[in-house]
Amino acid sequence: MPTLVHQLVQSIRRHRAASIAVLVALLVVGFGLALGLQRAAGDARADVGPERHRGSLARLELGVARFELSAAQGEQIGAAAQRDEAQHQVATLQEQLQGVQQLLASTTDLVTLQGPQIEALDRCLNGVSSALNQVSVADAGASRTLQATQLLCRDAQAAISATPPG
């Protein structure tokens, strides 16, 4: 239905100038006919002729006004349909935005939770790497580093499993 109304409005817009031109041409022709009939009617109708002419002009103006009103109503219907469609699109986008915001909030919560876990695991892995480097160069301190690293790795395991370190 909105497309039919839109097509009607477009048709009225396209043919508005032609319709007004036809109306103006009819007005000019009608005016000419009215003058010719006035002259032919003689003096007896001299007083009645101008009033008829004014009535004809008034009817013609009324017809033009009705045509313009109809065109404006068609435009209003088309604008209302566009407004309704835009409101529907806004509602749909708002629903999508709420979904994205919820996903972002849950992702933020997950990142907040995993940040300390990653840091604890990083300390554990750095300790293991240091101990292995010491072993590779036959450093006697590798055993102490490995023991200290064992505590770091327990903390990492506790952070990952969400249990307090023991």
What share of residues in the chain are helix, strand, coil (percent, to 5)?
90, 0, 10
What distance in Å separates the CA atoms of residue 74 and residue 62, rounded to the nearest whole number?
A: 18
Residues 149 and 127: beta-carbon distance below 8 Å: yes
pLDDT tens sequence for the chain (166 residues): 568 878 767 776 777 666 666 667 777 888 888 878 778 776 555 565 678 788 888 898 989 889 898 988 998 999 999 999 989 999 998 999 999 999 888 888 887 878 888 888 888 888 888 888 888 888 888 888 888 888 888 888 888 886 444 4
